[in-house]
Amino acid sequence: MLILKSFLIRLKPKSAFYFTLPLGILSGLLSHSFLVFFQDACIFSVLLYAASQLALRLERQRKTDVHCPLCGYSDCTLLYRARKKTIGQKGSFACSSFDHAQYPDIHFCPECKNGFLSTLANKNNTDSVAKEAQNAYEEVVDTTYIENLPYRYDTYKRFTDTFHHLFEGKNVLEVGSYYGAFAESARTVVSRYTGLELSKHACSFLKTRHPELEIINGPVEWLQGKTEFYGKFDVIAMFDVIEHVADPVKTLESLRKLLKPGGKILFSTINIESTFAILLGPLWPWFMDMHLFYFSDRGYHTMLHRSGYFMKAHRHFPYRVSLRYFLAKVGSILGVEKLGHLFPNSKITLPIMLGDTVLIIGENAS
């Protein structure tokens, strides 16, 4: 029942249509009528979405006294119960971690429609959770990520080419520069690049590869109160970072001070309301210890506006990975570790765009 409820309360009209489409197709085939197919597909999706709204309303009436750390709503619901660790190291915070679909209890806020780890439900735990995460990230040595850097370079080269107008000749700060996947292409376009990274090993790697770049080793909090950076940057980029910080709204607010008037902030993150996420349920691979928050479409907008930005764009964010890496990721979810050893010498590259990773572009409102 919990999985069914969790499926219903996250449904959007588009997802409801996708999930009922097979019923419409079957109805159309049996009746040999395209009109019947279209009619029944619409009817089925409306009924399913109506059921989802009823389930959401019932959840809103429950009294749980679990507070949302993002919007403050007082009665958040349990989305999925904790899954026992079976693969990898508990608390692995490497970007290429294979601890997929392994997590503590995850709660969902019916008000802002964002998800969060149960460890954040108690406000008194927030600081300790953030500190534990920072300590883990600081010591990360991600050899798997380094091995797959050519594919990451490809991803961000395509990204930089697409948004060339945002970066050309601009002063850019990247929060979470990691091993320099974005920096590799951005450095040839921007007028100045500054990177902030928590991992000591990643910083050392990037400084060695590009000694001409300014790379700072520290958490995002290091930027707070650095008045010499106020109003300095045209663009701030964060790729797969915002879901890791203990207070996303406060983080975005502090970064806004570093932007010039009209400056842009770009961040990629995961979408808990995507059709793919809803379909996989508790097996969605991005449910992990290191992801503290799981944002929704509504969540992005609300978070940006509360932080003092205008929403400028919201779109899917595709990645490119090697076939071997992709199989290893799938194997980590299914519990078949040997799957990652297939095609060890393959040079095949796969574009991954399942709709559950998004890019958000906001503009400094001041």
Condensed to tens digits (0 to 9), the pLDDT of residues 161-217 reads 999 999 999 999 999 999 999 999 999 999 999 999 999 999 999 999 999 999 999
Total count of domains within the chain: 2
Q: What single-letter DSSP state applies at residue 117?
A: E
pLDDT band at 85; cut points 50, 70, 90: low
Determine the pLDDT at residue 88: 43
Does one domain contain both 54 and 191? no
Phi, psi of 109 (to 5 degrees): -95, 115
Contacts of 226 (CB under 8 A, 6+ apart): 258
- For the cut 70, the answer to whether the pLDDT of residue 90 exceeds it is no
Does one domain contain both 216 and 348? yes
Does one domain contain both 148 and 44? no
Q: For residue 280, tell me if it sits in a domain.
A: yes
Determine the pLDDT at residue 240: 94
Determine the pLDDT at residue 91: 44
Q: For residue 28, tell me if it sits in a domain.
A: yes
Does one domain contain both 37 and 163? no
* Structural domain span for residue 16: 1-61
Determine the pLDDT at residue 340: 67
Does one domain contain both 303 and 166? yes
Does one domain contain both 288 and 162? yes
Does one domain contain both 187 and 325? yes
Domain closes at, from 38, 61, 84: 61
Q: For residue 191, tell me if it sits in a domain.
A: yes
Does one domain contain both 152 and 55? no
How many whole angstroms separate alpha carbon 77 and alpha carbon 31?
42
- The whole-number average pLDDT for the span 82-107 is 74
- For the cut 60, the answer to whether the pLDDT of residue 83 exceeds it is yes
Sign of CA dihedral 276, 277, 282, 285: positive
Mind giving me the DSSP string for 249-273? HHHHHHHHTTEEEEEEEEEEEEBTT
Q: For residue 54, tell me if it sits in a domain.
A: yes
- For the cut 90, the answer to whether the pLDDT of residue 365 exceeds it is no
Q: What single-letter DSSP state applies at residue 240?
A: S
Does one domain contain both 152 and 259? yes
Does one domain contain both 174 and 282? yes
Residue-wise pLDDT for 272-326, tens only, equals: 999 999 999 999 989 988 899 999 988 888 999 999 999 999 999 999 988 888 8
Q: Whole-prediction pTM value?
A: 0.91
- The whole-number average pLDDT for the span 230-248 is 94
Exposure string of 78-100, with b = 16+ CB inside 10 Å and e = fewer, is bbbeebeeebbeeebbbbbbbbb
Does one domain contain both 54 and 149? no
What is the token pair recorded at 97? 């971690």
How many whole angstroms separate alpha carbon 365 and alpha carbon 309?
5
